[in-house]
Structure 1
Amino acid sequence: MAKIYFFKKVSEMILTEERAKTIQESTVYDVAKAFLHLESMTPKKLQKLCYYAYSFYLAIYEKKLFDDNFEAWVHGPVNPQLYTEYREYGWQEIPQEINYPNSIMKNERVREIIEEVYDSYGHLDGNQLEYLTHQEDPWKNAREGLQPYESSRNVINDEDIRSYYAGVLKDG
């Protein structure tokens, strides 16, 4: 009987690890497509919504939503891969992704984060979101010692993100 219990526990641990891997296998592109399914938007707004989704997910679950980082660019947090994907739009809106089947939205945790971020920040434009991120410690810490319009590829520290947004949630 002890062997059966042991194997049952091991299989539960493996399933839990597989679920955790599935969550982390989401990409910044998946999250971006989820936001673009809700509306068309500029690349700047998309960057900031993805940053907030990443940040609040990290604060709540102490785990990265996807395996990319954000850098402290002049106009706020930017994911370089996402920038490359949508840079052709410049200041124009990226079209809405009406028919995009996004498997990450089947994950309740991810869906809730995306919905909450959109409900909280979706009414703001890219410039307003840029202003907000410029007031927040993770971006400011990563740009310490830089002039306002000095370019930077400094990665915004995940621990700074986690602790700052955990505090935001606590102060709610």
Structure 2
Amino acid sequence: IYKKYKSYGFSAIQDKPERPIFSQKVEDILNQVWKEYGNYTGVQLESIIQQEQPWINARVGFSPIDKCTKVISDKDIFDFYIQYAK
């Protein structure tokens, strides 16, 4: 998804993509995420993410202005967000 839409940068995505079919469990999770974060802009979401532990962990050893291509680990993401599971 990122590769497909990265050219938009911070601009609104104008394409109307075909909606994929998800299981009910995945649909519920996506709806929870949308309910929590759907009203934020891309810049606001970026700011939120950069204050969370998975992002911080991935940037150890980098200054705030350094380019970093280190992948955020699935374990860090799971461990951080599971605490918010309802």
After superposing on structure 2, the runs of 4+ consecutive aligned residues of structure 1 that deviate more than 6 Å are none
Q: Report if the CA contact (8 A) 2:10-2:42 is conserved.
A: no
Given residue 21 of structure 2, which amino acid in structure 1 is its aligned partner? Answer: S
Larger Rg: 1
Q: How many residues align?
A: 86
Residue equivalent to 1:146: 62
After TM superposition, the score normalised by the length of structure 1 is 0.46
Q: Report if the CA contact (8 A) 2:59-2:70 is conserved.
A: yes
Given residue 30 of structure 2, which amino acid in structure 1 is its aligned partner? Answer: I
Q: CA deviation at 1:136?
A: 0.6
Counterparts of 1:72-111 in structure 2, within 5 Å, are 82=2, 84-95=3-14, 97=16, 100-104=18-22, 107-111=23-27
Distance 1:163 1:94, change over 3 A: same
Residue equivalent to 1:167: 83
Distance 1:161 1:88, change over 3 A: closer
RCO greater where, 1 or 2, for CA within 8 Å and sep 6 or more? Answer: 1
Contiguous gaps of at least 5 residues in structure 2: none
Which deviations, in whole Å up to 9, do the C-alpha atoms of 1:87-111 show, x marking residues without a partner? 332332112527x24222xx10111
Distance 1:149 1:167, change over 3 A: same
Residue 136 of structure 1, aligned match among 32, 43, 52: 52
* Identical aligned residues as a percent: 33
Which structure has more helix as a fraction of its residues? 1
State the Cα RMSD in Å.
1.8
